[in-house]
Amino acid sequence: MTKRPTTTRSRTLWRLAALVFGLVVVVAVGRTLLDQDWSVLTEVLRRRDREETVALMTVAVLTAMAGPLLGMFSWRAILAELGPPVPLVGIVRIYYVGFLAKYVPGKVPGLIATVKVADANDVPMPRMLVSGTLHMVVIHLTGLAIGLLTGVRILGGQALWLVPPALLVAAVLIWPSLLDRAATLALRVLRRPQQTRSLSRRAVRVAVFWQICSWLVGALHVWLLAVLMGADAAAALPLCLGAFTLASVIGVLTVVTPDGLGVREVALTGALALVLPVPSAVAVAVASRLVVTFADAVFGVVALGTTEFLHRRRAGRDVTPVEPGVDAVDHLARS
C-alpha cells in the first residue's frame, strides 16, 4: 500500500510536465509566427485575383500539411521492422510530439518528451533512438539527392558535390543492408543503444519512397507561392522542389536555431532568385516559413488532439478489474 501515493505522485508530476511542455511548444510556435514579417503576405495576395489567390494559398497550406504526414509513414516503415506492431494512434502521438518539439530551442526537451510518449505507447527508448537515427539518415540522403534539382542550376559544375548523396540513395535501394551498416556505425559513434534487428529490403525501399514523396509534396507550396509572385510555372517547378528540400536539410543540420529559422530562408532566397526578382524571392521565402509554421501548428494540434481523444476512449473501453493495491490510473495509462 505504500507504493500507491508514490505512483500517483509520479503520474501527476509527469502530467504536469506534459502540460508545461505543451505550453512551451505553443509559446515557441507563437513566437515563431509573431517574429515573421506578415506584410509579405500582402505582397503575395495582391498579385492575382482574390479567388485564384485564395485557392492557391489553400492548396499551399494543404501540401505543407501533407508533407510531414507522408514523412510519418516513412518513419513508421522503419519502426515496424524493429519490434512489435504499434497502433496508428500511437504512431501519430509519438511522431507529432517530436515534430512540434522542433520549435522549442534546444534538442533535449523535445527528446525527453518524445521518449516519454514513446514509452507510454510501448516503444522503448532503444527502439525509438534506433528508428529515429535510421530515419534521419533517410531524410538527409533523400533530401540532398532531390537537392540536385536545384544544385545543378545554382552551382553549375560545382553541383558535383551533390552527386554522392544521389548515388547513396540509389545504392541503398539496391543494397538496403547499407542503411543498417550506416546506422550501426552512427549509433556506435553517438554511443546509443545498438539495433538488435535488421531492416528488410522492402522496409528500406518503402521508407525511402515515402520520404521522397514527403519532400516533393511538402515543397509544392513553395512552387505555388512562386507562381503567385509571377514565376513561370514550368521553369519554377523543379527549382522550387529542389530548393526547398535542400534548404530544409541545411536547416535541419543547423542546431543553433529552432527548425533552421533564418538559415532556410537565406538558402531558399538564393535559389528562387534564379526565377524571381530578389525582393520577390525574399517574399516567397518568408511566406514559405509562415505557411509551413501555420500548417505544422494547425495539423499537429488537430492530429494530437484527435489521437489523444481516441486513446483515452480506447483506454476507457478496455478498463478491467484491477487487483487491490494496483494504481487504477497507472493501469489505465498502460491499457
Total structural domains within the chain: 1
Give the long-range contacts of residues 154-157, CB within 8 A, separation 24 or more: 154/270, 154/271, 154/274
Q: Are 193 and 126 in contact (CB under 8 A)?
A: yes
Q: Inform me whether the pLDDT recorded for 202 exceeds 50.
A: yes
In a domain, 219, yes or no: yes
Burial of 17 (0-12, 13-18, 19+ CB in 10 A): middle
What pLDDT is recorded for position 215?
95
The residues, any chain, with a CB within 8 Å of residue 152's CB and separated by 6 or more, are 159
Question: Of the ranges 132-146, 165-179, 185-199, 300-314, which is most confident?
Answer: 132-146
For 254-292, write each residue's pLDDT tens digit.
Answer: 655 555 566 788 888 888 888 888 888 888 888 898 898
Q: Are 162 and 140 in contact (CB under 8 A)?
A: no
In a domain, 7, yes or no: no
DSSP-based three-state secondary structure for 108: helix
What pLDDT is recorded for position 69?
93
What pLDDT is recorded for position 5?
44
What pLDDT is recorded for position 158?
63
Q: What does 247-285 look like in DSSP terms, one character per residue?
A: HHHHHHH--SSGGGTTHHHHHHHHHHTTTS-HHHHHHHH
What pLDDT is recorded for position 60?
93
In a domain, 17, yes or no: no
Q: Are 228 and 48 in contact (CB under 8 A)?
A: yes
As a whole-number percent, the residues of the chain with pLDDT over 70 amount to 67
The residues, any chain, with a CB within 8 Å of residue 291's CB and separated by 6 or more, are 57, 60, 61, 64, 221, 225
Mean pLDDT for the chain overall: 76
Q: What is the DSSP letter of 2?
A: -
What pLDDT is recorded for position 333?
37
What pLDDT is recorded for position 212?
93
- H helical segments located in 35-175: 39-45, 50-79, 88-100, 108-120, 125-146, 148-155, 163-174
Does residue 334 or residue 237 have the better pLDDT? 237
Question: Of the ranges 85-94, 122-131, 141-150, which is most confident?
Answer: 85-94
To the nearest 10°, the Cα dihedral for 11, 13, 16, 21? -100
Q: Inform me whether the pLDDT recorded for 195 exceeds 60.
A: no
Tell me the pLDDT band of 326, cut-offs 50, 70 and 90: very low
In a domain, 188, yes or no: yes
What pLDDT is recorded for position 61?
93
As a whole-number percent, the residues of the chain with pLDDT over 90 amount to 14
In a domain, 176, yes or no: yes
Q: Inform me whether the pLDDT recorded for 335 exceeds 50.
A: no
What pLDDT is recorded for position 11?
60
Q: What is the DSSP letter of 192?
A: P
What pLDDT is recorded for position 66?
94
Radius of gyration of the chain (CA): 22
In a domain, 94, yes or no: yes
Burial of 280 (0-12, 13-18, 19+ CB in 10 A): buried
How many Å apart are CA 131 and CA 72, to the nearest integer? 12
In a domain, 19, yes or no: no
Tell me the pLDDT band of 200, cut-offs 50, 70 and 90: confident
Q: Are 200 and 239 in contact (CB under 8 A)?
A: no
For 192-216, give one letter per residue: b (16+ CB within 10 A) or e.
beebeebbeeebbbbbbbbbbbbbb
- Whole domain around residue 113: which residue ranges? 46-316
Q: Inform me whether the pLDDT recorded for 23 exceeds 70.
A: yes
In a domain, 120, yes or no: yes
How many Å apart are CA 284 and CA 43, to the nearest integer? 10
Mean local confidence (pLDDT), 140-169:
75
- H helical segments located in 195-262: 201-228, 233-253
Does residue 189 or residue 288 have the better pLDDT? 288
Q: How many CA atoms, within 13 angstroms, populate the side-chain half-sphere of residue 17? A: 13
What pLDDT is recorded for position 46?
67
